[in-house]
Amino acid sequence: MWVNIDKKSDQPLMRQLYGQIRHLILDGQLAPAEKLPSTRQLAADLGISRSTVLDAYNQLIAEGYLIGNHGSGTVVASGIDVFSSPPESAANKRAATATKEKALPTAVIDFQSGVIDSSRFPLSEWKKSYQRSLDHVPAAAFHYHPSAGVLSLRQTIADYLRRTRGLVCNPAQIMIVSGSTQGLALIAALFCDQQQPVLIEDPTHPGLRQIIEHAKLNLIGIPVDDQGLITDLLAPHPAPAFIYTTPSHQYPLGGILPIQRRQKLIQYAIANDTYLLEDDYDSEFRFEGQPVSSLYELSPERVIYLGTFSKILTPAIRLGYLILPDQLIEPYLDLKKYSDVHTEALTQYALAEFIDSGGLEKHIWKMKKIYAKKRQHLIAELSRCYPDQFEIKGHAAGLHMVVHFNGVVFDAPRLNRINSRQVRVYPINNYVFGNTAPYGSDILLGYAHLTFAEITNGITRLCTALREPEA
């Protein structure tokens, strides 16, 4: 049964669900005596409360569309003429048309990576934390702040990292930025006058390449494998301004950099008087084993640590942070000052309150369970639709996975067929900078923002397209 709930709509969830099931019955898509999913299953698939589904079912039962049989489930009632609904006003027709368009399986299902389930944002807890922070905020909070950020948040982040990541640093080394994008841009600008290249993992996110290139820095791609950056390939290159790396969960392939390579990377940085920019973009969401240690712990004087709250809470809170070696703090603060003076302060106070109250760790714990279930559901749907013909790459972490499809090449004609099925997937070749490794059969599937029903329908459409004969 295809229904599509829009949690951003002004229409209550119950009315959306009621209207779409009613439409499916009147349209003949749900036949008489056809059994509907259980309220518990449908609630889980749509990511809504069971009480919402119960209310919708009860309303449909009351109006005669459904029959509720205790112990044997809910079925469509008989004797209903297809398209026998009464005449509607023009406004109601427009609303029904909009609902129908959302309900049809032609809506695009986008497996974009890095998009979180924003519907789970803990709005009630956040509002309480914001209010408590405003109740106790000092008068100075309404004036200009130091470019490094609000001290209480920097202290809170230091405590949080020590407690959850085993990472020890001085709050004075923590710099608050408006998201990881600004953090990376500021670091790139910090080195733009040195006329040295920047070494980056290859493949990697095209967006970060653009940020570094915007600072007029020359990029050199270093290939990665299933263990992350191949450190043996660093030696032939000139001393870089810095090396960008994602050692805890390589983006996009998912490898974890082993200790042997971490040590080689640090030795290279020391020998070449350069820095390592560690982007720890999603380490909170690891579904197997213990959290991976940071590169920063091994060499605080050589590692610039970049963290963000966008992947944990919501990108609407544009807050991230850098941990800088002591020698970079002063030049960084000069740059930050003339960039935007300081990052918006009131949200910093609220975030400090939210973390101190335990709200952040509670939210991470909840989302880890949800994302783990979505990941398992995605793998189960792949196994159902394309059994024994695919391989999951990377470690069980983050908000996406890389899937290798045996005997499939994601060239332009095949992608066009997939797109025609109203589903979007992302070939790993789109993330390649210069690496010649064969990635033609690999795609990236982001799943965190999708409902269980969307994952099911998206994978069904994808596998249908993969089985279509080539023109």
CATH number of 13-101: 1.10.10.10
**Which regions in the chain score pLDDT beneath 70?**
1, 83-106, 287-291, 396, 471
Q: What is the pLDDT of residues 251-293, one digit of tens each?
A: 999 888 999 999 999 999 999 999 999 998 777 777 666 667 8
Does the domain made of 109-120+362-467 have the CATH classification 3.90.1150.10?
Answer: yes
Average pLDDT over the chain reads 88
Tokens of 209: 């390449």
- For the stretch 341-357, pLDDT in tens is 788 899 999 999 999 99
Q: 241, 221, 248: which is closest to 233 by C-alpha?
A: 221
Instruction: Give me the helices (H) in 64-150, please.
Output: 90-103, 123-136
Quickly list DSSP for 253-300: T-----HHHHHHHHHHHHHTT-EEEEE-SSTT-B-SSSPPPPSGGG-T
131-146 burial, b at 16+ Cβ within 10 Å, e below that, comes to: ebbeeebeeebeeebb
Domain positions in the chain: 13-101, 109-120+362-467, 123-358
Per-residue pLDDT of 439-469, as tens digits, reads 999 999 999 999 999 999 999 999 999 988 7
Report the predicted TM-score, pTM, of the whole model to 2 decimal places: 0.75
What does the pLDDT read at residue 289? 60
Q: Do domains 109-120+362-467 and 123-358 have the same CATH topology?
A: no
3-class secondary structure, 323: strand
pLDDT 10s digits, 164-199: 888 999 999 999 999 889 999 999 999 988 789 999
* Domain 123-358, second-level architecture: 3-Layer(aba) Sandwich (3.40)
Name the residue among 374, 383, 373, 459 with its Cα closest to residue 424: 459
CB 346 within 8 A of CB 421: no
